[in-house]
Structure 1
Amino acid sequence: MNPFKRKKTAPEPAAVQTSARPASGLGLLDSYTPLGGNQTRLYYALREAVPIIDAAIFKTVRLTGGFEVRCADERLQHKLDNFVRNVPIGGNQCGLESFVSTYFEQLLTCGTAVGEMVTDSDGHIAALFNSPLENIELRRASDGVGVDIFSASCVGMPSPVRRPELVLLSVLNPQPGEVCGCSMLKGLPFVSGILMKIYKTIGLNWERMGNIRFAVTYKPQNDSLDRAYAKERAMQVAKEWSEAMQTGGAVKDFVAVGDVQIKVIGADNQILDSEVPVRQMLEQIVAKTGLPPFMLGLSWSSTERMSTQQADVLTSEIDAYRRILTPVIERICRTYLLFEGTPSQVTAEWDDVTLQDNVELARAELYAAQAEKIRKEIENGE
């Protein structure tokens, strides 16, 4: 054993800048825009309370599709593909597509998405991290144009991230002058509140009316003897009726003397029809998501197919989302190659969106080819 041999230093663990950490000092936070406020919690509560909203967000993420990253230098393509497939994501997933899916889901729900490229002690990208918004606060930069990113602390004033070039930030439909975006669920709390009241009322009505309760009425006759023992006979009728209804499912006769009426409590009342108001609320929710109703399990038409116009509109929605995500993907890959010492340009290529019926598309192409052939024959004949 060589006593003068230098010991190998253990590699430093990768540190995440956007995770919550304790800090010293106190101060006012008036100039900051916290992202993890009550509004964000409200949107996640909406997804939990109304399953159709949660399904719409997941389907939108799935419909956005996958992608491939092309490198300008073909010699680096294999290396880049290996990074895209195997980069760790938050310690429990791997692959750049997993990061983008979580990033996009946060963007749709909260209107703002934050991620981070985590580096190791050698300066290489070791993992990607989807940061919870309650760990992040935004502030307008001193130039009045940019945005400064601060890491929230458990106690005290937030501190700016040390390496903002590693932090990814995207916003959805921001208002003029605002640093945060607008959620896809904006405007739905009021509509969803009405919908949940209707569902709660339906549940209460079924709880009251579904479990039938009976009203047993005994009417004494006009003679004095019957009126004198009315209380005893009513108690006897109640006892016999209770025994008849508590026989464990066995059939038992109920015999009574005199004028006895048996009615179901609430049978004369009319329960409000909930189909129309529920559909009106669901139409507002579906219109906000931009998805066809049948994709969310709603059968509102006899032909559960997507028209060409609906497919075109949905395709334009997906393209708009892709335009937000493409710079994030390309920035991650460019940074990875740069930190590896092999800088190169990259391009994200999305999979084709196939929403229309392939049979209808083929028939349309056939008709177009036939029309072109007839047109050429007419021109040649002239």
Structure 2
Amino acid sequence: MNILGLNISRSKAPSESHTVQLRPNNGQGPYTAGFRKFIAQKLDPTFFEFMREAIPVMDTAIWRLVSLDGHLVVKGNKAALVEEIQEWMDNVQVNDFQTGMHAFHQNLTNEGFEQGFAIGEFIPNKQRNDIVGLKVADSKFIRFNRKPNLLEILQRADGDQDWRVLKMDPLLYWSIHNENQNPYGTPLFRSCEFMAQTLATMHNSLANVWERFGDPSYSVVYKTSKKDGTNHQERRDAMVTDLNDAVRAKRAGKSADFVHAIDTNSEIEIKIIGAEGKILNLEVPARHVLEQIVAKSTLPAWMLGMHWSTTERLSVMESEMVLADAKTRQSAKLPMFNRTVSTLLQMRGRTWKKGDWWLEFEQVNLHDIEKQARARFLNAQADMMGADPVATDTTQKKEAQFVGKKL
């Protein structure tokens, strides 16, 4: 229709036959609610514990770092004092049911990696002449309160209505990646929240795929015509019953078939629902996300069970970096353990001088024993080559043979 030079056409009303299917937004499966609680730039201690539960590689990385930090040993020139300290370290009660300084070290380190800091406590007896226990607090229930001249540490335990101030003397504190004067430290996997959510989404989608396609649903199409009669409902029910019987027999490990006699105007077609669907490739994007998480853990991928291609030389360099990181953490924790042992000896009335005892960490060995032996042999040869020129060639040969047999 043309009115005043304008072309006006009447269009049909929009069709109301289409429908929209809404599905719940649970992209991470059972972990969706936990990830929804995350707010960027907000520290939520319960979230980092939840993230370890949702992503197994994060939990594995923390426990692997705990193992790499080694264990404490006591050495010294005064045998009686060393034996007394070692006996206490082996038998001191830790928390409710654990025993030994190594258990305390594990719990403290685990809590520090997860939450960014850890608070421990040594417990004196009533006479205050011995330390009878060690405890590690749940960092989620610890709060710091900065005052003009001091920093208070507060805790809210079971049954507490409010935060209570803790006495500072028996407390032991360790943290990682402190930022300025922030006593809360930085959790190991901070900045991996989005990556963890993405990886959980991938895992949930993979589970959905196998739930839909792994146990296939069958679609049975029975094509017929009015010439075949009016008992179509009865025929359909019979086919459904026979198909279910065949599927149950297959699951029981038996062979089963179903047969129907139809006329020339009928046709039965059986398909697996979803068998022709395209499944997204998971390997490449999942590895990209995992690389970010592994990089944040400071561990090489092969230590977490991911055997990505790497050269032998690269793995040696990675081992060196891992040991260097562990040694740095050990140096940070050593003064805390020295103070604990010193307090124990003072309570017991012991006296000592420098060199009578000291604590050190037993280092984890990540290197090839054969290569270490070969290196020691070459070092011994180099030392002999640079020895006093007065020494005779015969003496040098005998020393070299002796070193070679010993190695």
Q: TM-score range by the shorter chain?
A: 0.7 to 0.9
> Any conservation in 2 of the 1:292–1:306 contact (CA below 8 Å)?
no
Q: Which residue of 1 aligns with 2:329?
A: 321
Question: Would you say 1:166 and 2:170 are equivalent positions?
Answer: yes
Question: Matched residues in 2 for 1:266 and 1:333: separation?
Answer: 66
Summarize the alignment of residues 298-313 of structure 1 with structure 2, pairs less than 5 Å apart. Answer: 298-301=306-309, 307-313=315-321
> Any conservation in 2 of the 1:71–1:77 contact (CA below 8 Å)?
yes
Q: 2:317 is aligned with what amino acid?
A: Q
Question: Would you say 1:45 and 2:50 are equivalent positions?
Answer: yes
Question: Matched residues in 2 for 1:332 and 1:266: separation?
Answer: 64
Please state whether the residue corresponding to 2:44 is helix, strand or coil: helix
Q: Which residue of 2 aligns with 1:356?
A: 367
Q: Which residue of 2 aligns with 1:196?
A: 200
Query: 1:115 aligned to 108, 114, 120, which one?
Result: 120
Q: 1:85 is aligned with what amino acid?
A: D
Question: Matched residues in 1 for 2:84 and 2:378: separation?
Answer: 46
Deviations 1:51-79 (CA, angstroms, capped at 9, x unpaired): 22111111111111122224575552222
Q: Which runs of 5+ in 1 are unaligned?
A: 1-36, 377-382
Q: Which runs of 5+ in 2 are unaligned?
A: 1-41, 388-407
Q: 1:189 is aligned with what amino acid?
A: E
Q: Flag the 1:370–1:87 CA change in 2: closer, same or farther, 3 A.
A: closer
> Any conservation in 2 of the 1:147–1:179 contact (CA below 8 Å)?
no
Moved more, 107-116 or 304-313: 304-313
Q: Which residue of 2 aligns with 1:136?
A: 142
Deviations 1:239-288 (CA, angstroms, capped at 9, x unpaired): 55445445564422323522322221112211111111111122112111
Q: TM-score, normalised by structure 2?
A: 0.73
Question: Would you say 1:99 and 2:104 are equivalent positions?
Answer: yes
Question: Matched residues in 2 for 1:277 and 1:49: separation?
Answer: 18
> Any conservation in 2 of the 1:134–1:152 contact (CA below 8 Å)?
no
Q: 1:142 is aligned with what amino acid?
A: P
Q: Flag the 1:283–1:70 CA change in 2: closer, same or farther, 3 A.
A: same
Q: Which residue of 1 aligns with 2:301?
A: 293
TM-superposed CA distance for 1:91, in Å, is: 3.0
Deviations 1:199-235 (CA, angstroms, capped at 9, x unpaired): 11111111111111122223346xx625977666555
Question: Matched residues in 2 for 1:135 and 1:241: separation?
Answer: 58
Q: 1:358 is aligned with what amino acid?
A: I
Summarize the alignment of residues 3-14 of structure 1 with structure 2, pairs less than 5 Å apart. Answer: none
Percent identity of paired positions between Structure 1 and Structure 2: 26
Summarize the alignment of residues 1-382 of structure 1 with structure 2, pairs less than 5 Å apart. Answer: 39-70=44-75, 75-124=80-129, 125-143=131-149, 146-152=150-156, 154-161=159-166, 163-220=167-224, 225-226=227-228, 237-238=239-240, 240-247=242-249, 249-257=254-262, 258-301=266-309, 307-344=315-352, 346-365=357-376
Q: 1:225 is aligned with what amino acid?
A: K
Question: Matched residues in 2 for 1:127 and 1:329: separation?
Answer: 14
Deviations 1:112-155 (CA, angstroms, capped at 9, x unpaired): 11111111111031211112224432122422xx5322243645
Question: Matched residues in 1 for 2:380 and 2:217: separation?
Answer: 71
> Any conservation in 2 of the 1:138–1:179 contact (CA below 8 Å)?
yes
> Any conservation in 2 of the 1:86–1:95 contact (CA below 8 Å)?
yes
Q: Flag the 1:60–1:252 CA change in 2: closer, same or farther, 3 A.
A: same
Q: 2:284 is aligned with what amino acid?
A: V
| Equivalent residues, number | 335
> Any conservation in 2 of the 1:141–1:147 contact (CA below 8 Å)?
yes
Q: Flag the 1:147–1:340 CA change in 2: closer, same or farther, 3 A.
A: same
